[in-house]
Amino acid sequence: MQIYAYLLNLVYCLLLACASPVILYRVLVQKKYRSGLAQKFFGQLSERNSYEPCFWFHAVSVGEVLQLPPLLEELKRQNPTLELVISTTTHTGYAVAKEKFPEFTVCYFPLDFSWAVKRALQRIRPTAVLLVEMELWPNFVLAADQAGIPVSIINGRLSEKSFRGYRKLRWLIGPLLNRLKLIAVQTDAYAERFQKLTGRADRIQVTGSIKFDGIQVDRANPLTAELRNIFRLKSGETVLIAGSTQSPEEQIALEVYLAARQQFPRLRLILVPRHQERFHEVAELVKQYGLPLIRRSEQESGEAGSVLPFTNSQTPAIGLLDTLGELKSCWGLADIAFVGGSLTKRGGQNMIEPAGYGTALMLGPNTWNFKDVVDALLQHEAVTIVQNRAAFQETLIEWLEDPPLAEAQGARAQRFVLDQRGATLRTLSLIAPLLAGGQSDAQDKAA
């Protein structure tokens, strides 16, 4: 194992050396990757001093972090003395985790160097590590296994594209997966793929997706109401939200919106870029079109009433949600939603949240990251796939001409989401036995 770890360290160092020009550019010019360097490179996580049981949840980024609240709330309710650590990989994920879980320890996940993962495990001393969805790092899994710390996957997913890649490395991935205590996955299809990689089924369980349990379905929730006021939405207006977008999806949404507004002047548009670093770019794009703009961040910083100037006083402002962690509530404003990353090559973004509100839902054709959810929505006639800008515009106008048609699709989407709930309790029943070892250790220390 030691030689294996050294070889991995060497490979990682070589990869870092090759990528160093890009990394330096992003650090110095784009000011990315600057936070948490000691935690990432040396495993200098906050040292845990108590001997109470501890679960370490690793959530890669914002999407995984936002899945955790219902699970962690119920876990703490059932086990009040349990300590929780939440780690993330990305800066945005870390920021949202700090906001959502101020009472828990939040940190960056160490890079997969043997010295970093060993020190991180020594400092946290977790009873168990739970990887949300799946981010599997060899040195981390091996170090945890050597220390007798069980590692599990919860809410696991394995897309067809990822499966094809992992299957080529089955000689590496299979043994790592077989060191896991539990692989709790969202669907039977994911279970089958994991079974093909591991050659066994005894540790694989289908729980459904905990994403559905945390989905908000009440449009009257306080944050949605606050955002309605901030974006100055009026009764009788129809709201189109293009969320989790990448370039050029914002431009497509703007052009579709402007074309549709010629016939439907009470249409409003809110843009929500996927990445924080593109907020200013999208604001400038709106400005180039000569459209007024309301930026959520400016309202938050005390500049309420700040709207970029425009020449046509009859044109309502475009909304730009340029804050983190609020898209979940913003979807509650949408009568019609387009979920981004689907007209580009990203493979789609989470469409469950707008579906939960009963929103008429549009996606581009590239949704392989959420294939099973999209297939289920299609089976329930609860989503419309638009192949390009022309189809986006055609569908939008069709729904604006026939609102009951859009409302019926939205109602089917909401029913689908409500029918999927229950994964949180099923997941808790599977991970509860992992507490036994930590409780015994705490009792031994107390004695």
Residues 57 and 145 in one domain: yes
Residues 238 and 206 in one domain: no
| Catalytic-role residue among 52, 64, 237, 398 | 64
Residues 335 and 378 in one domain: yes
The verdict on residue 443 lying in a domain is no
Residues 191 and 295 in one domain: no
The verdict on residue 163 lying in a domain is yes
The verdict on residue 2 lying in a domain is no
Quick check: is 133 catalytic?
no
Distances (CA, A) of 33 to 42, 93, 296: 15, 12, 25
| Among the listed residues 96, 108, 115, 171, the one whose alpha carbon sits nearest the alpha carbon of residue 135 | 108
Residues 427 and 414 in one domain: no
Q: Which CATH number does the domain housing residue 136 bear?
A: 3.40.50.11720
Residues 180 and 243 in one domain: no
Residues 236 and 166 in one domain: no
Residues 415 and 427 in one domain: no
Q: Which residues pair with 363 in a beta bridge?
A: 339, 385
The verdict on residue 265 lying in a domain is yes
Residues 433 and 385 in one domain: no
Q: Which CATH number does the domain housing residue 406 bear?
A: 3.40.50.2000
The verdict on residue 183 lying in a domain is yes
Total structural domains in the chain? 2
The verdict on residue 197 lying in a domain is yes
The verdict on residue 268 lying in a domain is yes
Q: Which residues pair with 364 in a beta bridge?
A: none
Nearest-angstrom CA–CA distance, 444 and 429: 25
Query: Could you report how far apart the first and last alpha carbons of the chain are, in Å?
Result: 35
- Buried/exposed code over 155-168 (b: 16+ C-beta within 10 A; e: otherwise): bbbbbeeebeebee
Q: What is the extent of the structural domain holding 404?
A: 222-419
pLDDT in tens, the chain (447 residues): 667 777 888 888 888 788 767 666 666 665 666 678 899 999 999 999 999 999 999 999 988 998 999 999 999 999 999 999 999 999 889 999 999 999 999 999 999 999 999 999 999 999 999 999 988 899 999 999 999 999 999 999 998 889 999 999 898 899 999 999 999 999 999 999 999 999 999 999 999 999 899 899 999 999 999 999 999 999 999 999 999 999 999 999 999 999 999 999 999 999 999 999 999 999 999 999 999 999 999 985 444 445 544 444 478 999 999 998 899 999 999 999 999 999 999 999 999 999 999 999 999 999 998 888 999 999 999 999 999 999 999 999 999 999 999 999 999 999 999 999 999 999 999 999 998 765 545 445 544
Residues 232 and 271 in one domain: yes
Residues 252 and 391 in one domain: yes
Residues 265 and 385 in one domain: yes
The verdict on residue 8 lying in a domain is no
Distances (CA, A) of 178 to 57, 141, 168, 185, 433: 19, 10, 17, 15, 19
Strands 318-320 and 204-206: unpaired
* Gyration radius of the chain over CA positions: 23
- pTM here is 0.79
